[in-house]
Amino acid sequence: MPELPEVETTRRGIAPHLEGRTVTRLVVRERRLRWPIPEDLAIQIEGQTFSQIRRRAKYLLMDIGGGSVISHLGMSGNLRLVPVGTPPLKHEHVDIELDSGLALRYTDPRRFGAMLWIRSGEVHPLLSKLGPEPLSDLFDGERLYQCSRGKSIAVKPFIMDNAVVVGVGNIYASEALFAAGIDPRREAGRISRARYLRLAIEIRRILGYAIERGGTTLRDFTGGDGQPGYFQQELFVYGRGGELCKVCGNTLSETRLGQRSSVFCRQCQR
């Protein structure tokens, strides 16, 4: 699943091609995504000009006219730019054609993503209960410590809870916990303030670095410019169960937490 760095990479890739450009036509070939594409979306955006492309958690918000198009990439979706009139392949469900001669094309093989509409000044229910952005000043180790008090849930699903902090998905939760030396199975409420201070630093560092590197390429994800990410080559634990730890040389262990596979090092993480 595309995570925060992949979505931010997509935002940075498409924003220069959308901002200041006018939509000439909306082409919807398949409306049945996770939630149906609104019937009046063409009325809302055709003839209007994109003003800003933003991100909130893993959602892209494309401000245009009297509101915003909200897009989510689902499990395996992507947005990329193609010349207007490029014949669509299977699973290429939506084209937003621009006055530049390019089209923003939405592809989603599993149709688990979304393309919705919200009017200016409204807060969509999908965004209303989200926690702070991990790279913002509203997120730090003190917040993790305070939110964790009394929690018996394992620390990994705890930091993946979007009400605590947004965008720390499976890949980057695994990597941040390894960097902070914290066993992902430990109860969130039993971790000290000092360790949460370090964990928050590692979450910020790893997400920021992954964005710089273009995100993590898994399966068929590519950035908005059509280029894959490169952070996958530098993963320490995610997807490496049974392999040797790059730090201590011990065999990495694998378990399941919150219905997700979790790889960790019993020597490096306590």
pLDDT above 70 (res 115): yes
Has 46 been annotated as catalytic? no
Find the range with the poorest average confidence among 89-103, 200-214, 226-240: 226-240
* Res 66 pLDDT > 80: yes
151 is in an annotated binding site: yes
Looking at every residue in the chain, the average pLDDT score rounds to 93
- Is 129 annotated in some ligand binding site? no
Q: Does 202 participate in catalysis according to the annotation?
A: no
**pLDDT of 3 over the 90 cut:** no
Q: Cα separation of 173 and 157, whole Å?
A: 8
pLDDT of residue 225: 62
pLDDT of 231 over the 70 cut: no
Neighbours of 144 (CB within 10 A): 23
- The confidence score (pLDDT) of residue 228 equals 56
Instruction: Give yes or no for residue 216 having a pLDDT over 70.
Output: no
| Catalytic hit among 21, 55, 58, 105 | 58
Count of other CB atoms within 10 angstroms of residue 239: 16
180 falls in which pLDDT band (50, 70, 90)?
very high
List the CATH code of the domain at 4-119.
3.20.190.10
Looking at domain 141-264, does it have CATH number 1.10.287.70?
no
Give residue 241's pLDDT band: very low, low, confident or very high (50, 70, 90): very high
| Percentage of residues in the chain having pLDDT higher than 70 | 93
- The residue extents of the domains of the chain are 4-119, 141-264
Q: How confident is the model at residue 126 (pLDDT cuts 50, 70, 90)?
A: very high
Residue whose C-alpha is closest to residue 62's, from 2, 93, 18 = 18
CA distances in angstroms from 161 to 56, 59, 179, 254, listed in the order given: 15, 15, 19, 21
Query: In terms of Cα–Cα distance, which of 26, 51, 53 is closest to 39?
Result: 26
The answer on pLDDT for 220 being more than 50 is: no
What is the tens place of the pLDDT at every residue in 48-65?
999 999 999 999 999 999
Whether residue 165 contacts residue 139, with contact meaning beta carbons closer than 8 Å, is answered with yes
Residue 117 has pLDDT above 80, yes or no: yes
Catalytic pick from 3, 92, 97, 175?
3
**Do the beta carbons of residue 176 and residue 158 sit within 8 Å?**
no
- Which range among 235-239, 252-256, 257-261, 264-268 shows the weakest confidence by mean pLDDT? 257-261
On whether 110 is known to bind a ligand per the annotation, the reply is yes
Strand pairing report for 260-264 and 92-98:
unpaired
Identity of the amino acid at 165? V
